[in-house]
Structure 1
Amino acid sequence: MSSNALTAVVRAELTKIRTVRSTLLPLVLVPVVSVGIGVLSCASARSAIDRKSRLLRPDFNPLDAGFVGVQIGQLTLIAFAVLLVCAEYGSGMIRTSLAAVPDRGLFHLSRITAAGGVALLVAVPTVFLSFLASQTALGPYGVELSRPGALRAAVGACLYLTLMCLFSVGVATLLRSTALALTLLYALVLVLPPVANAVPGLRTAARYLPDQAGTELMKADPTLAPGWALLVLAAWTAAALLAGHLTLRGRDS
């Protein structure tokens, strides 16, 4: 596999992302949703603090609050990853893509590279804008990026978004269905963690779910060490991408 071949196929994947509305729209929504939800959440928290409301969580931390919007924004990044993969199967264009790039390993790697690069490019400004806007909404209760642990959490949030996007690429490649992939991924992010956390015997195990491990990367005082959290999320991502590769290589388009 030559570097020139990989570069050419990655460029083709980037062209698809840039020109297909179904993949471009979720990318645009990532910063919009992240910043918007972050500001609304922190404005509500500021009001609750001013009113000394009992509705405010006792463990409220302004640093953690700066990344609430990012956790919601990742849902649109997951949608981007799923649509990037599954739209080709739904339209039948996967046959054309594989005819142009018969080396399925090269095709899968190029899609991973393109999706990961775009996700990181979107994640960095999204995370920092969301954090700064959220802290501004908190007013006198907000913290600066220079606060100990804040920059580490922001970098962790960027890695979290990027790896969750790649994890979604692997799952979508494995399932080949937009509906199935989105259902599984959203259940894994929105349904399974609160259910597992509600059961005492499963609470510890829940930390090792991909989304929950990634969330630890953004916390001021994580219960799972950031290095371990990153390793867990990376392992989930690698497993999903490998499963996707084996499926792509072993099944007809």
Structure 2
Amino acid sequence: MSASSRATFDVRPGSRTTMARAVRAETTKLLTLRLCLHTVVGTVLLTVLLSWVLTNLIETAHRAGRPEEAAGLVGGTAFLVILHYGQIGVILLAAWSMHQESDSGSLRSTLISLPQRSAVLTAKAIVIVAAVFITAVLSVFGSAGIRCVAIDCTAESSQIAGTPQATSGVLWGVILYWVLIALFTYALSVVLRSGLAAMGTVLAMALIVSTYLVNITPLAKFLPDQAGAQLYQLPPPTPGDLGPATGGVVLAVWVAAALITAHLLFRRQPVRR
């Protein structure tokens, strides 16, 4: 084999050629999976649409003099409730990216064509981060913008936070949270060897379990979703809260621990046929 041929088919661990091939392959898979594409589009459209609907309902209740119907929400920030539940979409996206291969047996073919498991795992993470980031940016800023159709966003009472910097921090906090919780779900799907199990675990924790535990023990605030939610809490923080910086660090530690565990296990796990 000539030197040029060896360069073309260089698959040494950590080489740029290996990683570029892996990322291209994972990108192609994502773009050809209808469920993943539908999840991205559906998450964006639903969060934006529901943000507009909720803002309208809250604003209508306040204008009619029935603030009790608004459940403590105001038109300017009501869309944050929708964004909290919007994480369902990116959790599904992250979990399914691993499930569709391991469940169908195509992961074996992937590792035959690219035996460097670390490269495969990293490439999947890169593609997931990119897909979730795009989804989050469109959803978050689309939802923040659509509320201006229902309310006067120039009014002081309709501002998301007290300053433009604080507003930017809240919106980018949601985006960062979505990316990190998706990475955590992806890593957990590798650890559990099941995207569905990972998705169920994270959704149950984020939407049910931690909400219940936080009323029982202060330690619940260190759970991934509770800590991460601090990234987009409106300032000033409530006494006893971790705050955006500490909450973000705690979630990042969870994600790092999950990724390290996933990497160690994935390198040794037998691949299902």
**TM-score, structure 2 length as denominator?**
0.84
Query: What is the correspondence of 1:85-104 to structure 2 with a 5 Å cutoff?
Result: 85-104=98-117
Deviation at 1:241, TM superposition (A): 1.4
- Whether 1:215 and 2:229 are equivalent positions in the alignment is yes
What percent of counterpart residues are identical?
27
Tell me the SS of whatever aligns to 1:150.
helix
**Corresponding residue for 2:253?**
235
Deviation string, structure 1 residues 83-139 (Cα, Å, up to 9, x no partner): 100110110001001111111111111111111112112211221111121344344
Indicate if the aligned counterparts of 2:171 and 2:232 stay in contact, CA closer than 8 A.
yes
What is the identity, as a one-letter code, of the residue corresponding to 2:254? W
Structure 1 residue aligned with 2:119, among 106, 115, 127? 106
Highest Rg: 1 or 2? 2
**Corresponding residue for 2:197?**
180
Listed as ranges, the gaps of 5+ residues in structure 1 are none
- Whether 1:7 and 2:36 are equivalent positions in the alignment is no
**Corresponding residue for 1:36?**
49
Structure 1 residues 110 and 71 mapped into 2: Cα distance closer, same or farther (>3 Å)?
Answer: same
Q: Which moved more, 1:3-12 or 1:219-228?
A: 219-228
What is the identity, as a one-letter code, of the residue corresponding to 1:217? L
Indicate if the aligned counterparts of 1:63 and 1:150 stay in contact, CA closer than 8 A.
no
Query: What is the correspondence of 1:104-143 to structure 2 with a 5 Å cutoff?
Result: 104-139=117-152, 141-143=157-159
Q: Which moved more, 1:230-239 or 1:144-153?
A: 144-153
Listed as ranges, the gaps of 5+ residues in structure 2 are 1-13
Deviation string, structure 1 residues 52-73 (Cα, Å, up to 9, x no partner): 3324344x45554232222111
RMSD (CA atoms): 2.0
Tell me the SS of whatever aligns to 1:69.
helix
Structure 1 residues 28 and 212 mapped into 2: Cα distance closer, same or farther (>3 Å)?
Answer: same
Indicate if the aligned counterparts of 1:45 and 1:138 stay in contact, CA closer than 8 A.
no
Indicate if the aligned counterparts of 1:66 and 1:134 stay in contact, CA closer than 8 A.
yes
Question: Runs in 1 of length 4+ with deviation above 6 angstroms?
Answer: none
Structure 2 residue aligned with 1:159, among 154, 176, 182? 176
Measure, in 2, the Cα distance between the counterparts of 1:185 and 1:63: 29
**TM-score, structure 1 length as denominator?**
0.90
Q: Which moved more, 1:235-244 or 1:133-142?
A: 133-142
Deviation string, structure 1 residues 36-65 (Cα, Å, up to 9, x no partner): 22222222221222233324344x455542
Measure, in 2, the Cα distance between the counterparts of 1:225 and 1:133: 28
**Corresponding residue for 1:56?**
70
Q: Which moved more, 1:114-123 or 1:84-93?
A: 114-123
